[in-house]
Structure 1
Amino acid sequence: MAAGLIDELRLHIAPVVLGAGERLFDGVPARQLRQVSSRAASLVTHVTYALARAEG
């Protein structure tokens, strides 16, 4: 993601913290994301984002 090589980001979010937790996006520059979809299940939420590309 930091290199700008992905078009889509899929996150699967579960309410579990092990230890102190871990910051997933430390050192990644800010990106414009557009939420494409989300789906909640009993123990996880699935979220898909599209990364905006620079026009040029």
Structure 2
Amino acid sequence: MRVLGTRLRAPRTEAGLTGAALAQRAHVGQPTVSKVENRHAEPTAPSPASPSPPAFA
């Protein structure tokens, strides 16, 4: 999980995105992004019935 947080934060900051901006694009709350980046949560895959969020622009 430690690697995932780093792998999420580094490109986010290089792209100039805030945690809130990434959260909005990913259709999750900003606290979720923060928790993943800081190793307090692990993301789960959406169920097949869930609509896919739009790709990053």
Question: Does TM, normalized by the shorter one, top 0.5?
Answer: no
Between Structure 1 and Structure 2, the one with more strand by share is: 1
Larger RCO, structures 1/2 (Cα 8 Å, 6+ apart): 1
Give TM-score, length-normalised by structure 1.
0.26
